[in-house]
Structure 1
């Protein structure tokens, strides 16, 4: 199902291209920073694997992502990626974040 402006797509596994973006050094730094500032400062992040996601097309793309961070630990992050034409003025950002999620939690 294709993403529509205003609505999120159905949850699905990320493509290889999406995984590359969602684990790229700048995005990894944003997500790890969100973990640290949301009570995970003593948490060991053994991996950062996007296992489930949705997208929403706006003036860029909102990604809702379930990351596996090691053991049975998961976090949910909403990441905004601006359109390429705005890349000079706007950078990707984590606009919402949730700690202490499980594999069974809905995204």
Structure 2
């Protein structure tokens, strides 16, 4: 019985350690996108398809959250890929379509 408890403890510990490196999943938006968000996503898909950028495989929710993040950082005075870690094409499209 003691070895069973020990094995169970090791298994739970291994699962906990294995789950610490897992990234959270980005879900698609729950509300319908606005016309500006639709234009942003459409242009982002076109640019990424033409440039063969791996960001083209991101979901709409992740692209939108990256775009809104770039807008928030711009309002705080942080602009550029080094400051926001958002691709330049996505940042420019966010400035055009999403930022007020």
TM-score, normalized by length of structure 2?
A: 0.30
| Higher gyration radius (CA) | 2
Higher helix share: 2
**Larger RCO (CA under 8 A, 6+ residues apart):** 2
TM-score, normalized by length of structure 1?
A: 0.28
Higher strand share: 1
